Every structure is written in C-alpha cells, then in structure tokens.
Amino acid sequence: MTSHPHVVVLDYGSGNLRSAERAVARTGASVVVTADYHAALEADGLVVPGVGAFESCMQGLRSVKGDELIGRRLAGNRPVLGICVGMQILFDRGLEHGRGTQGCGEWPGSVERLHADVLPHMGWNTVDVADGSALFAGVEQERFYFVHTYAARSWDLEVHEPFKKPAVHWTTHESDRFVSAVENGPLWATQFHPEKSGDAGARLLANWVGTLQM
C-alpha cells in the first residue's frame, strides 16, 4: 500500500462532510467526498459521518446503498469509521419519538434517548478508554467534542475465541453511561466528533489512518 492511503468520506446527505474531509486530509491521506458506490468500496478507508435523526440518516444511507456498501467492505476486512449518527446507524435499530427504525445491524442493540436532564449532551467530555486501544493511543486522557441526544446505552455483542474481543469505550453524561467509541476488527466508530475535537481528534484520526497503511 502507498504511503498516502486513499479515504472516501461517504456523501449520503448527512454529516459534516467538508469538516471531516479536511480533518482526515490533515493526516496526510488522500480524501474524496463522494456517493459513488464503487469508489467507496475500493477505497483504503471509508468514513461514514452523520448528523440529525437516525431515521433520516438511514433513508439517505439506503438511497446510495450505503448499508450494503458497509457490509461488503467489512466482509472483505476493509476499514470503516463511523462518526456520531454514522456510529449509531451501525446498531440494529434506533428509537426516536416512539418510532423504531432499522439500522445496518452490524452490532446488536438499540440507540435510544439518554437519561439526562440536560439534552443534548453538547460540549467536551472525557472517555473511559479500554486497555490497549489503538484508536486512542496517545490521547487516552484527552477530552472530545460531543453533540447528541441519543446513544447506545448498552453493549450486547458477545465475541468468543479465536475472535478478538472488541474494545468498547464509554462516556458518562450526568448519571447516564453510553458507548462513546468502539474498535471491532475493521469497524471503528465514535459517538463524538473527532473532526471538531482539536489536536486530540486530529491524533485519533491519524491513528485510524495509520491502520490503513498496515
């Protein structure tokens, strides 16, 4: 693989596309924002951003066959990074305003409203980083920028030998605890916005891009 991996930021009508593009490009990667299925399938890395409602994000994702694209990449052990709602849609379903929406189903479980008095959870917060994290290497004690009302409040995926157990990272808002990042084989994701998280977010993205060169 070349020293400058090629990354696609998937354009499906949701997400801070240009912010994500600029942030990933600062790592030295070659970055393109596109909805082109084959370009996204063949890229060294795929970033799936997302903002807004789970249901509308899934509608947009399906409109460009993004759910199929993610599945095909993962079947071929090709890296995917989900950000914010781009992480949420990886779970089985989202529950918003009494409505359930089917997600990509890469991970079991539901995305639901946080149990907190002050919502959205907006601003800087720390992450309880699991031991041996590659994603958080060098930024284990740093703060990251969150903007969300919904999250996965449990982790239900059971992995047995010889498969590697996912690294699951947690954050607490008020008294509620939620999944704030996951490293699961080629599928990594963050509930926070690394592209808005300053030097810590830049280091985290560089850690992900670094895996594309292995």
pLDDT at 3 > cutoff 70? no
For 196-210, write each residue's pLDDT tens digit: 999 999 999 999 999
DSSP string, the chain: --SS-EEEEE-SS-S-HHHHHHHHHTTT-EEEEE--HHHHHHSSEEEE---S-HHHHHHHHHHTTHHHHHHHHHHTT--EEEETHHHHTTEEEEEETTEEEE---SEEEEEEE---SS-SEEEEEE-BPPTT-STTTT-TT-EEEEEESEEE--------TTSPPPEEEEEEETTEEEEEEEEETTEEEESS-GGGSHHHHHHHHHHHHHHTT-
For 130-170, write each residue's pLDDT tens digit: 999 999 999 999 999 999 999 999 999 988 878 889 999 99
The architecture of the domain spanning 6-211 is: 3-Layer(aba) Sandwich (3.40)
Q: Is 160 a catalytic residue?
A: no
Given 21, 106, 183, 195, which residue is catalytic? 195
| Distance, first Cα to last Cα, the chain | 8
For 35-84, write each residue's pLDDT tens digit: 999 999 999 999 999 999 999 999 999 999 999 999 999 999 999 999 99
Between CA 57 and CA 66 the distance in angstroms is 10
Q: Is 193 a catalytic residue?
A: yes
The pLDDT of residue 187: 98
Given 21, 57, 84, 106, which residue is catalytic? 84
pLDDT at 1 > cutoff 60? no
Segment 15-32 shows an average pLDDT of 94
Segment 92-111 shows an average pLDDT of 96
Q: Is 104 a catalytic residue?
A: no
The pLDDT of residue 214: 58
- Say what percent of the chain tops pLDDT 70: 98
The pLDDT of residue 15: 78
